Structure 1
Amino acid sequence: MSETFQTKRGQLETYFDRTAAKAWEQLTSTEKVSKIRETVRAGRDRMRATLLAQLPDDLTGARILDAGCGVGQLSVEAARRGAEVIAVDIAPNLLEVARARTPDAVAHLIEYRAGDMLGADLGAFDHVVAMDSLIHYRADDIAHALATLGTRTRHSIVFTVAPRTVALTAMLAAGALFPRSDRSPDIRPVSEARLGRALGARGDMTDWALRSHGRIKSGFYFSEAMEVSR
């Protein structure tokens, strides 16, 4: 993995585990939030449903990796379908929230772990879901992450990217006007074509096909659902 990836990963760990941990806990709850955050919450809910729709309705016996699980919302939904879920995140504080919110009925199906979502120690999976956990990286680093996960994934990896559009570019430029302390780590817009070329340049992803499942825009939330599958 590139030095840029490692540096960005460190920034994300600091942001989600310390700087914005409380803000994310509130955003992912049912508490009242600002109008802007309501749109982000709604967008994330729609994206979570979109990614889950790419998985079988019955996941009984399947092993799922929730890569960058945050407070565990997607993990819980996958477990409700019968999946055995390994939920990993770099922010231990968010994992504590996830454990506290997980319903008793599915708690035995979810194992929360703090650490690297690419770690070989996590084992092999039928499907991997990475919601908004790769949007901070360049196309080459995303391709490397997908290839790393692909060596241990039987069927599919569903994930999100920040789409390269005029609207998103303008939004990110406006966000850059705020003081650094008030901003989350940079989002890196990536086009499907650019990511496809990055994957095609690798010799270890030739049996995987890339496709988009559409974009979701809700206020300041803008993300595209993608999938690589055998």
Structure 2
Amino acid sequence: METRSYEARRSQIETYFDRTAAETWRRLTSDAPVSGIRATVRAGRDRMRATLLSRLPADLHGRRVFDAGCGTGALAIEAARRGAEVVAVDISPTLIGFARERVPAGLAGSVRFEAGDMLAGRHGRFDHVVAMDSLIHYDLADIVRMAERLSAVADETLLFTFAPRTTLLAAMHAVGRLFPRGERSPSLVPVAEAGLRRRLAAAPALSNWEAGWSERIASGFYTSQALELVRR
């Protein structure tokens, strides 16, 4: 599945989150004070995480959840609080280290954090797979391929986010260039929802899946759109 574009982007993302901006993301995903722009990103991410979690059963006892691209682990920890057995994977060993430090003692046996490739498919099957803001740096073709791989281990739902193609988002990206180069994240790849749905519907590996619910979250410098695939 790994295309040249996918491998190149994955390498950039690993470098950014594991070394260049690991401390920035540790602060952003904590309660530490951050700048005004980053505060809007934090608020948007909090809303998106709550939105994705709202699509999962309130009681997750007896269910397995895969957090693909888990970052510092907030979504995985909340799913474990609801009773799920959670496996959470991220390409950045540094972020995984932060995530492990944040697991409450009472949940230590319910959530497992692992550094590695979220597409490896070596963790068994899951009732629900969630990929929050871990596909947003890839182009349309790679997003569809990644959805195919993630759906292969999901029994009920696959929830993921993408960067919607909007004029506002393009303007915010231009503002983002004002950040010091070392603090810039890998650029997002805006994707039109209609085109994404068409490509998902045409993907042979997703013939047993249906794209349904979608919701966009916009908060200052943060814009992301969630999409749910449900197994037929």
1:162 — aligned with what?
Answer: 163
| 2:18 corresponds to | 17
What's the offset of the Cα at 1:121? 1.1
Range moving further from structure 2, 71-80 or 118-127:
118-127
Task: Give the corresponding residue for 1:43.
Answer: 44
Unaligned 5+ segments in structure 2 are: none
Q: How far does residue 178 in structure 1 lie from its aligned partner after superposition?
A: 5.2
Partner residue, 1:106: 107
What's 1:93 paired with? 94
Give the drift of 1:201.
2.8
Amino acid at match of 1:183: R
In the TM superposition, structure 1's runs of 4+ consecutive aligned residues that sit over 3 Å from their partners are: 176-182
**CA distance in structure 1 between the partners assigned to 2:29 and 2:180 by the alignment:** 24
Instruction: Give the whole-Å Cα distance in 2 for the aligned partners of 1:50 and 1:74.
Output: 11
Whether the 8 Å CA contact 1:212–1:224 is kept in 2: the answer is no
The TM-score with structure 1 as length reference comes to: 0.96
1:58 Cα deviation from its structure 2 partner: 0.8
Query: C-alpha distance in 2, partners of 1:213/1:50?
Result: 10
Q: After superposition, where does 1:189-208 map in structure 2 within 5 Å?
A: 189-208=190-209
The one-letter amino acid of 1:217's match is A
Question: Are the aligned partners of 1:192 and 1:212 in contact in 2 as well (CA < 8 Å)?
Answer: no
Cα distance between partner residues in 2 of 1:202 and 1:222: 26
Q: Which amino acid aligns with 2:11?
A: G
In structure 1, list runs of 5 or more residues that go unmatched: none
Q: Supply the AA of the counterpart residue of 2:153.
A: R
- Quote the sequence identity (%): 54
SS of aligned partner of 1:120: coil
Question: Is 118-127 or 21-30 further displaced after alignment?
Answer: 118-127
Amino acid of the structure 2 residue aligned with 1:99: R
Letter in 2 for 1:95: I
Q: Which aligned pairs between 1:121-200 and structure 2 lie closer than 5 A?
A: 121-176=122-177, 180-200=181-201
Give the aligned partner of residue 227 of structure 1: 228
The number of residue pairs the alignment matches comes to: 230
For residue 108 of structure 2, what is the amino acid of its counterpart? A
- How far has the Cα of 1:158 moved from its partner? 0.7
SS at match of 1:136: coil
Offset at residue 179 of structure 1 (A):
5.8
Aligned residue for 2:33, secondary structure, equals coil
